[in-house]
Structure 1
Amino acid sequence: MFRLTCPHCGPRDQVEFNYGGDATVDVPDLDADEQTWFDAVYIRENPRGPHTEFWQHVAGCRQWIRIKRNTQTHEILAYGAATGPMSDEPTGKGGADK
């Protein structure tokens, strides 16, 4: 388990959140061809290291947030609301419990 910081509620255990997907995906135009949509939906990178993700605080304020997380260590590098700027300060509470 690791801790995420909700910009609305503060630090919380990861079990209060649902993963919402890759926050770096560019969604194609609605009139894009089928192959472009297939690639956007199914062909994804599986990054090792820092990665930006969407999470929803389902057991709290229910807001969507963005987290920059190291996928190897679960260290939280930045966080913020789903839109707008992200804090560039680590929470100091990330990382897997040992």
Structure 2
Amino acid sequence: MLVLDCPFCGPRNESEFAYGGPALAPRPADPSAVSDADWVDWLTVPPNPMGEVEERWWHLRGCGAWLTVRRHTVTHAVTEVRLGR
């Protein structure tokens, strides 16, 4: 089980949080310049690398803050937790 260190509430069990998905790159400035296939991939295919990823977590059963968490997908070691994006 993950322990996430909320900046407001301190270390908390992952059961207090709701997973919000991967922290994605911003939408393209001009979506019409992106191919249909690339746009569908950006919208529907989440990255799933082995190694560090950035994810969004909502402290649902706590302060309500949205956090960006850097986590290793193999070891589940959390290396960074910050507010927002």
Does 1:76 find its partner at 2:78?
A: yes
In structure 1, what is the Cα distance between the partners aligned to 2:46 and 2:19?
Answer: 16
Q: Which residue of 1 aligns with 2:61?
A: 59
CA-based RMSD = 1.7
* Whole-angstrom distance in 2 between the partners of 1:74 and 1:49: 9
Which amino acid in 2 is paired with 1:32? Answer: P
Q: TM-score with structure 2 length normalisation?
A: 0.83
Contact 1:26 1:40 in 2 (8 A): no
Other-structure match for 1:6:
6
Instruction: Normalising by structure 1, report the TM-score.
Output: 0.73
Task: Report the alpha carbon displacement of residue 52 of structure 1 after superposing the two structures with TM.
Answer: 0.7
CA distance in 2, matches of 1:43, 1:13: 28
CA contact (8 A) 1:18 1:57 kept: yes
More helix by share: 2
Asked if 2 retains the 8 angstrom alpha-carbon contact of 1:28 and 1:37, the reply is no
Consecutive unaligned residues in structure 2, runs of 5 or more: none
For this pair of structures, how many residues does the alignment match? 82
CA deviation after TM superposition for structure 1 residue 28, in Å: 2.3
Cα offsets for 1:43-96 (capped at 9, x unmatched): 33211111111100000011100110011111111111014xxxxxxxxxxxxx
Question: Do the aligned residues in 1 keep the contact of 2:22 with 2:47 (CA within 8 Å)?
Answer: no
> Which residue does 1:32 correspond to in 2?
31
8 Å CA contact 2:22–2:54 kept in 1: the answer is: yes
